[in-house]
């Protein structure tokens, strides 16, 4: 039977309570984004004693349905975007494929669910003996360090671990074991290690992908929120005009990339020829390395040369670009921008490397 059928059974007060409880377990079998046991542990841990308390049983179902509805909406938008992209002969990156179909919890409580799941998996891992695979000792210890730090920081990945975790995930995905291997438990051990690493990555690292017209509204949200923090800027356009410009110019005419975190667009970068025209991160999403990830993507698609303008008063952004290898070319009086505010021209040539403490 379908998820919906089991959900209706859970809510049907005419059915015996034991059957309704069993129906909830069956619903989890139909939708278990972080695995059956982890999904069950999370929804029941938040809801309460589902075995005997009807209110808790219904709360658990609500938590599960909220996540599933978010996942369905996300996949519907993804399918619509893919229809458009296929006409332009664009393919899905391996990173996005793994993100869409990998271990993660969709929905507004994505971070809470992921953090709890990683805590549970880590506690179980500590009770397991490490299989004697000498070539994988360093990989195991490196991933363990990333996960431990993530847990100690309350679910925040240390900036120094972002690239490390990406590299370790690639190595973990390359690990191959023969099921007839004499190394007892090695296959299962490293599957669990990879699951933890993937959960942390999907919780703390943004997915970078090309924007499409369906992202315009959220890109405008990010732009308006970020610019709203810049109190020195004059208000020249209405919100409606700004949203029309984002949809009709930024997304339609520029090469625009978005950073997606927990299924939502949290930042974007727009390129025109060899110029980075815009790079903004939603205020609530700052501190997750989204700006750095977007700038890295801009460097990949414009490897030879990248220019940008930034307001001179935006000292935080200027420090950010300087840490990422941009050099000041000129200070200008602002005659060339509609705000008439002094700005600065920065340029990063090919081969310029960011400083190791880049954290935006």
Report the CATH number at residue 294. 3.40.630.30
Same domain, residue pair 146 and 279: no
Instruction: Please check whether residue 359 lies inside any domain of the structure.
Output: no
Same domain, residue pair 185 and 64: no
Instruction: Please check whether residue 289 lies inside any domain of the structure.
Output: yes
Query: Is the alpha carbon torsion for 62, 66, 67, 72 positive or negative?
Result: positive
Q: Which residues of the chain have pLDDT under 70?
A: 128, 131-132, 177-185, 351-360
Same domain, residue pair 159 and 218: no
Same domain, residue pair 340 and 211: yes
Total domains in the chain come to 3
Instruction: Please check whether residue 341 lies inside any domain of the structure.
Output: yes
> Percent helix, strand, coil in the chain (nearest 5)?
55, 15, 30
Domain enclosing residue 124, as ranges:
110-204
* Domain end marker among 26, 60, 92: 92
Instruction: Please check whether residue 247 lies inside any domain of the structure.
Output: yes
Same domain, residue pair 176 and 228: no
Structure confidence at residue 357 (pLDDT): 47
Q: What is the pTM of this model?
A: 0.87
Same domain, residue pair 176 and 46: no
* Domain end marker among 180, 204, 228: 204
From 323, 313, 271, 265, select the one nearest 292 (Cα to Cα). 323
* Domain end marker among 204, 234, 260: 204
Longest C-alpha distance within the chain, in Å? 76
Q: Which residues contact 23 (CB under 8 A, 6 or more apart)?
A: 6, 7, 9, 10, 15
First to last CA, the chain: 47
Instruction: Please check whether residue 274 lies inside any domain of the structure.
Output: yes
The torsion of the CA quartet 27, 74, 56, 48, rounded to 10 degrees, works out to: 100
Same domain, residue pair 197 and 214: no
Evaluate whether 140 touches 130 at the Cβ level (below 8 Å).
yes
Same domain, residue pair 233 and 343: yes
Q: In the block, which residue shows the tokens 């271990």?
A: 103
Instruction: Please check whether residue 73 lies inside any domain of the structure.
Output: yes
Same domain, residue pair 114 and 86: no
Same domain, residue pair 179 and 280: no
Q: Which residues contact 352 (CB under 8 A, 6 or more apart)?
A: 324, 325, 326, 327
Same domain, residue pair 50 and 180: no
SS3 label, residue 148: helix
Instruction: Please check whether residue 100 lies inside any domain of the structure.
Output: no
Instruction: Please check whether residue 98 lies inside any domain of the structure.
Output: no
Residue 141 DSSP class = H
Give the 3-state DSSP-derived string for 236-280, with helices as H, strands as E and coil as C. Answer: CCCHHHHHHHHHHHHHHHCEEEEEEECCEEEEEEEEECCEEEEEE
Same domain, residue pair 229 and 133: no
């Amino acid at each position: 039977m379908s998820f919906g059928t089991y959900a209706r059974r859970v809510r049907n007060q005419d059915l015996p309570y034991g059957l309704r409880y069993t129906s909830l377990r069956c619903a989890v079998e139909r939708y278990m984004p972080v695995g059956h046991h982890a999904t069950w542990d999370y929804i029941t841990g938040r809801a309460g004693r589902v075995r005997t308390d009807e209110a808790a049983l219904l709360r658990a179902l609500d938590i599960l349905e909220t996540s599933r509805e978010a996942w369905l909406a996300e996949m519907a938008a993804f399918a619509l975007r893919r229809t458009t992209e296929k006409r332009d002969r664009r393919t899905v990156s391996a990173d996005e494929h793994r993100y869409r179909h990998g271990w993660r919890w969709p929905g507004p409580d994505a971070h809470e669910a992921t953090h709890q799941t990683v805590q549970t998996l880590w506690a179980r891992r500590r009770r397991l003996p490490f299989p004697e695979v000498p070539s994988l000792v360093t990989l195991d210890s490196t991933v363990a360090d990333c996960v431990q730090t993530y847990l100690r920081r309350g679910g925040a990945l240390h900036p120094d671990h972002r690239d490390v975790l990406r590299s370790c995930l690639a190595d973990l995905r390359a690990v191959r074991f023969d099921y007839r291997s004499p190394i007892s438990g090695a296959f299962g051990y490293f599957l669990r290690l990879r699951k933890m690493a993937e959960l942390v990555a999907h919780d703390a690292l943004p997915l970078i992908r090309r924007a499409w017209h369906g992202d315009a509204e959220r890109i405008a949200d990010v732009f308006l929120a970020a610019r709203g923090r810049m109190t020195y800027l004059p208000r020249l356009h209405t919100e409606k005009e700004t949203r029309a410009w984002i949809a009709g110019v930024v997304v339609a005419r520029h090469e625009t990339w978005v950073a997606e975190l927990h299924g939502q667009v949290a930042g974007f970068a727009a390129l025109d020829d060899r110029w980075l025209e815009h790079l903004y991160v939603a205020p609530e999403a700052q501190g997750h390395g989204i700006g750095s990830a977007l700038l890295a993507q801009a460097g990949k698609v414009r490897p030879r040369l990248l220019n940008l303008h930034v307001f001179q008063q935006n000292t935080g952004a200027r420090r950010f670009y300087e840490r990422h290898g941009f050099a000041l070319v000129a200070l200008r009086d602002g005659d060339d921008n509609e705000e008439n505010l002094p700005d600065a021209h920065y340029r990063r040539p090919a081969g310029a490397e960011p400083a190791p403490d880049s954290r935006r």
